[in-house]
Each structure stands twice: as structure tokens, then as C-alpha cells.
């Protein structure tokens, strides 16, 4: 499923990723997603599609990113956020890892 409200490509992050940061962000997504959906989730596969598997819209993705920012006390650069960056749990994790800054 495609959401025309989001572009389809984004520049890739080029800096090496600290594995602990990736784990922290992935856990943040796992904590926030059930609240956004309003349901309990037993397991959240990395390849789960936000649109097809969870029924999120582009507005739901925005809510998800805002909640992730709040949960993890970070700021996510959404200027280059594209549909492929938010298609799956894994792609959103990768995007946030490469496009965030800790709040001061």
C-alpha cells in the first residue's frame, strides 16, 4: 500500500551506527506503537508493514514519530522522511537512527 502524502525516496545516512542506539530506538518504537494503535501487541516483527499490517496512515506515522521523540527525548529530522523510510518497523528504526539528535 502506498501513501501519496509522503515522498518515495530519501538520502541514506552515511555515519556508522552505534548498535546500542539502534536497540534503544527499536525498543522505543515497540513501546510507542501499541499506544498509537490502541491495542496490545505480543510481537512486533522487524519487517511488519505499518500500512498493511497495522493499518496506519501518514497521519498515524506522524503521530508515531512524535511519540518516539517524546519517549526517547530526541528530535527526528523529518525533512527527508519518505514512504520507504516508514514502510516497516526496520526501515523506520534505520531512519530514526540516522536522522535524530538528543534533546538538550
Domains of the chain: 19-102 (1.10.1200.10)
The proportion of the chain whose per-residue pLDDT surpasses 90, expressed as a percent, equals 69
pLDDT at 79: 87
pLDDT at 32: 95
Is 65 buried (19+), middle (13-18) or exposed (0-12) by CB count in 10 A? buried
Tens-digit pLDDT profile for residues 60-78: 999 999 999 999 999 999 8
The proportion of the chain whose per-residue pLDDT surpasses 70, expressed as a percent, equals 84
Asked if the model's pLDDT at residue 88 lies above 50, the reply is: yes
pLDDT at 10: 46
Q: What is the pTM of this model?
A: 0.81
Is 89 buried (19+), middle (13-18) or exposed (0-12) by CB count in 10 A? buried
Q: Which residue has the higher pLDDT, 11 or 18?
A: 18
Amino acid at each position: 500500500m502506498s501513501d501519496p502524502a509522503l515522498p518515495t525516496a530519501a538520502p541514506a545516512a552515511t555515519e556508522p551506527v552505534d548498535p546500542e542506539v539502534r536497540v534503544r530506538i527499536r525498543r522505543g518504537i515497540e513501546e510507542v506503537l501499541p499506544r498509537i494503535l490502541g491495542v496490545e501487541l505480543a510481537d512486533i516483527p522487524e519487517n511488519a508493514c505499518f500500512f498493511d499490517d497495522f493499518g496506519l496512515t501518514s497521519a498515524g506515522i506522524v503521530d508515531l514519530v512524535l511519540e518516539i521523540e517524546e519517549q526517547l527525548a530526541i528530535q527526528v529530522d523529518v525533512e527527508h522522511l519518505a514512504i520507504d523510510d516508514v514502510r516497516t518497523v526496520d526501515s523506520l528504526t534505520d531512519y530514526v537512527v540516522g536522522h535524530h539528535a538528543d534533546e538538550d
